[in-house]
A and B are shown apart, each in its own frame.
Chain A
Amino acid sequence: MAAPEEILAYPLEVYTAIVGTAFPLIDAAPAVAWKLLGVSGNLNYDDTGVVVSHAETVFDFTPAGSTMPSKRFRTAESLLTKLNLVDLSPAGYAMAMNNATVTTVPASTGVAGEAHFDMFRGDAVAEFAVLLRGPSPADNTMNMQYEIPKAFVSVNGDVTFNKGVVASLPIEIQMIRHSSADDPVCRIQTAAAL
């Protein structure tokens, strides 16, 4: 990619792992514990791309003696990643459906091979560590990554099966935080290791 490096137009790739999995070094390939979302990564995301949404709710204090706010307070915030996954393979679909277990039934005499999973998600929502990775805005040959220690990964919306429409899973990755150890980090590589 060419300069200016800070201008990016490239979909991130999303990886998930068990909560507590160490994040990869910025210049290293993710370890096998990190599962790429979509069997072919961002080739399985539709062209709305990967959206990282920073939402917040604020409250402005306007004192009686003024008509303008004098102080702003943040009352809520969220980090939400959205994408449409065009991978309806059993592993991808089941992971998004609350990390359901896939049971593989191999073909045998009189039995067709198949794989199935339970679509009932229940009240307990599966948590994952999530890694989002793409080119660095400092040097496009290097990496940037969002490190999210805890997040809900879910399908929230419609899966449309119709002519002329690519069926996709609307994936939402909602960060959660129990303590400062769960704080997400945006890490941008600026130089190669010596």
Chain B
Amino acid sequence: MKKVTWNGAGNLLLPGQKDPIVSGDSAEISDKAADELVAANPGLDITVEDAGKSDKD
């Protein structure tokens, strides 16, 4: 799993999530979804970190 933190203004609705996160907040998404997110959205103001657990957890 990856922890995605939103650094931009307003809200961010991450893929597969029901509710958006506010600026400064974070959410966990799968490694695959995080990789896709970064590849498909260059310039998106996010920080992606390892959440310290696998996608199966």
Contacts and interface: CB of A to CB of B under 8 A. Distances in A.
A104 B10 contact: yes
Contacts of B14: 106
B9 A102 contact: yes
A59 B20 CA distance: 54
B2 to A, nearest CB: 14
Interface string B29-47: 0000100110011001000
Tell me whether chain B's interface is mostly helix, strand or loop, or mixed: loop
A53 B54 CA distance: 61
A60 B15 CA distance: 66
Nearest to B39: A107
B15 A109 contact: yes
A113 B33 CA distance: 14
A153 interface: no
A112 to B, nearest CB: 10
A84 B36 CA distance: 39
Which of A94, A102, A103, A104 has the most chain B CB atoms closer than 10 A to its own CB? A104
Interface in A83-125: 91, 94, 101-109, 111, 113, 115, 117
B20 A103 contact: yes
A104 B37 contact: no
B11 A104 contact: yes
Interface in A13-70: none
A107 B10 contact: no
B8 interface: yes
Contact of B9 (A91, A106, A111): A91
A189 to B, nearest CB: 31
Contacts of A106: 12-15, 37, 40-41, 44
A112 B30 CA distance: 19
Contacts of B10: 91, 94, 101-104, 115, 117
B8 A109 contact: no
Interface in B9-28: 9-16, 20
Contacts of A104: 8, 10-13, 44
Given A108-B36, A109-B36, A113-B40, A103 B13 contact: yes
A102 B41 contact: no
Interface of B: 8-16, 20, 33, 36-37, 40-41, 44
